[in-house]
Amino acid sequence: MAPAQRCPLCRQTFFCGRGHVYSRKHQRQLKEALERLLPQVEAARKAIRAAQVERYVPEHERCCWCLCCGCEVREHLSHGNLTVLYGGLLEHLASPEHKKATNKFWWENKAEVQMKEKFLVTPQDYARLCGSSASFFKLLQISKKIFK
């Protein structure tokens, strides 16, 4: 008999070895979990094109759960009294650790291969965000000095 294993998505213990990941219940739970995370990832991807920098408010300390890595990630990146929206999430999605954990998660849970790319961000895209937000930070600092 196979040793007992625990599925964090279904929150149940199973004894059928690898067969559980092919079950309808597991695939449904997996799809629902990925669909809950997808809107945050899509909003973060939109932020790559045009970085949004706002004045810091305590709400920007919000975290989200990365299903692939199994850890909490800060959604926004703050520096002083300014915040880059979705900067923290994009930084995480572009990390090599996230890519490795995503590959492992997809393999272990037999998720749809087409969806995997939606949960990854290339380091080049993240660098583009950093470049646009850095220039925005500089403009904001200059405008503060001028309009004091």
Which tens digit of pLDDT belongs to each residue from 111-146?
889 999 999 998 888 877 777 666 555 544 544 444
Minimal CA–CA distance to 54: which of 32, 76, 69? 76
Confidence tier at 1 by pLDDT (50, 70, 90): low
Residue showing tokens 């583009």: 128
Count of CB atoms within 10 A of residue 26's CB? 19
Q: What's the CA gap between 87 and 76, in Å, rounded?
A: 5
- Mean pLDDT throughout 43-56? 85
d(CA 79, CA 99): 26
Q: What is the pLDDT of residues 60-109, one digit of tens each?
A: 899 999 999 999 999 998 877 888 888 889 989 999 999 999 999 999 88
**For position 123, what pLDDT does the model report?**
85
In the chain, where the domains are located: 28-147
Burial of 19 (0-12, 13-18, 19+ CB in 10 A): exposed
